[in-house]
């Protein structure tokens, strides 16, 4: 995957966490996603389509997701309830939206976010794609953004 | 969610299973998705965007996914390997693609599929959306298609 595809996601993630959660992120080592690596317990997923198509997954641990929701909503949720999944979906949505404005392709659109909860769930991208993994550390805990994005053969 | 949105997915799912897997599906009771209901162990997810935006989740049990892969690939995979996740992603892709051609909206595009594996994982759509759940039974085992789709406020 080309740097011009994933650099917008690095700055979008940093910006969303800074402006929405008052949280500075420290970037870890960017890597090719090992296709079967487990993620954290809560993953916000959003599809991207247009002249590029792909999927972005924003994954957080349970405590990180709960604390992020507390910051956004003002009340600490008791466990992984619908407030938390809504907030994680909205964080994924903001990151994808902010990255979209930074990508050169002007015809991109993003899907409705969905949120997956479950211990040790795996997210697999198609094996012919080369998704990358962007780990970040923060005072809220570690987060990981995974991106699989490819040019569409025919803009569909 | 309006019937004209989910009826295309019912016929697309039935058609994909019939033509690709030689498997007749029996439709169960369509229901509003309980936002926190657990899915089967393997879920193929694909985003839809354009004048409608949303997400489709095709969920199968482990044995169903493995047998479907055996039919598509010709060799029985040993466990939930990348062949299985590729096949489940491709099934989700074919269902979304077939539904897209049946929907009246002509500007829809679909994202890259991703596949989530994990026991008792939950998929939450945004709580303001009204996703529906389409259960099917078949000789391969039960499957479930969940769809959250809404008109875009601004076609983005």
pLDDT in tens, chain A (156 residues): 778 888 999 999 999 999 999 999 999 998 887 756 678 999 999 999 988 889 999 999 999 999 999 999 999 999 999 999 999 999 999 999 999 999 988 789 999 999 999 988 888 888 878 889 999 999 999 999 999 988 887 644
- Closest in A45, A86, A126 to B45, CB measured: A45
Indicate the helix (H) or strand (E) that contains B150.
strand B143-151
Residues of B in contact with A85 (CB under 8 A): 35, 124, 127
Instruction: Determine the residue of chain B that is closest to A81 in CA distance.
Output: B36
* Interface ipTM: 0.83
Task: Give the per-residue pLDDT at A122.
Answer: 87
- Residue B13's pLDDT band (cuts 50, 70, 90): very high
Provide the whole-model pTM. 0.89
Task: Give the per-residue pLDDT at A114.
Answer: 92
> Please, which contacts does A94-98 make with residues 24 or more away whose CB atoms are closer than 8 Å?
A94/A12, A94/A16, A94/A20, A95/A9, A95/A12, A95/A13, A95/A16, A95/A56, A95/A58, A95/A145, A96/A12, A96/A46, A96/A48, A96/A56, A97/A12, A98/A8, A98/A11, A98/A12, A98/A15, A98/A16
The answer to whether the Cβ–Cβ distance between A114 and B36 falls below 8 Å is no
CB B125 within 8 A of CB B27: no
Residues of A in contact with B50 (CB under 8 A): 49, 109
Q: Does A105 touch chain B (CB under 8 A)?
A: no
* Bridge partner residues of B53 (DSSP): B150
How far is B36 from A156, CA to CA, in rounded Å? 32
* pLDDT, average across residues B95-104: 93
Q: Which residue has the higher pLDDT, B63 or B155?
A: B63
Q: What rounded mean pLDDT belongs to chain B?
A: 90
* pLDDT, average across residues B131-139: 93
Percent of chain B with pLDDT over 70: 96
- Examine the pLDDT at B104 and tell me if it is beyond 90: no
Q: Which residue has the higher pLDDT, B97 or B1?
A: B97
Q: How far is CA A30 from CA A6, A9, A14, A132, B35, in A?
A: 10, 12, 14, 7, 34
Percent of chain A with pLDDT over 90: 65
The answer to whether the Cβ–Cβ distance between A116 and B123 falls below 8 Å is yes
How far is A73 from B41, CA to CA, in rounded Å? 32
Three-class SS state of A69? helix
Nearest to A61 by CA among A121, A147, A141: A141
Residues of A in contact with B94 (CB under 8 A): none
Burial A25-39 (b: 16+ CB within 10 A, else e): beeeeeeebebeeeb
Q: What rounded mean pLDDT belongs to chain A?
A: 90
How far is A49 from A153, CA to CA, in rounded Å? 12
The answer to whether the Cβ–Cβ distance between B109 and A36 falls below 8 Å is no
* Bridge partner residues of A56 (DSSP): A46, A147
Token pair for A29: 């080592």
Q: Are strands B26-27 and B52-60 parallel, antiparallel or unpaired?
A: unpaired
| C-alpha B51: how far from chain center | 20
**A100-124 pLDDT tens trace:** 999 988 789 999 999 999 988 888 8
- Examine the pLDDT at B20 and tell me if it is beyond 50: yes
| H-type alpha helices, A22-129 | 62-73, 82-102
The answer to whether the Cβ–Cβ distance between B86 and A126 falls below 8 Å is yes
- B147/chain A closest Cα distance in angstroms: 11
- Examine the pLDDT at B32 and tell me if it is beyond 70: yes
Residues of A in contact with B112 (CB under 8 A): 47, 53-55, 125-126, 129, 148-150
Lowest mean pLDDT among A8-12, B48-52, B67-71: B48-52
């Amino acid at each position: 995957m080309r740097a011009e595809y994933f650099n917008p996601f690095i700055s979008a993630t940093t910006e969303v966490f800074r402006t929405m959660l008052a949280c500075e992120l420290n970037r870890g080592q960017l890597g090719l996603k090992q296709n079967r690596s487990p993620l954290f317990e809560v993953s916000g997923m959003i599809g991207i389509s247009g002249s590029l198509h792909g999927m972005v997954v924003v994954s957080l641990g349970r405590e990180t997701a709960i604390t992020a929701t507390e910051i956004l909503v003002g009340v600490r949720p008791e466990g992984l309830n619908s407030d938390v999944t809504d907030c994680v979906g909205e964080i994924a949505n903001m990151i994808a939206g902010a990255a979209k404005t930074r990508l050169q392709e002007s015809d991109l659109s993003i899907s409705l976010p969905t949120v997956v909860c479950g211990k040790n769930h795996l997210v697999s991208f198609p094996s012919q794609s080369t998704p990358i993994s962007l780990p970040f550390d923060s005072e809220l805990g570690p987060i990981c953004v995974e991106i699989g994005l490819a040019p569409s053969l025919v803009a569909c």
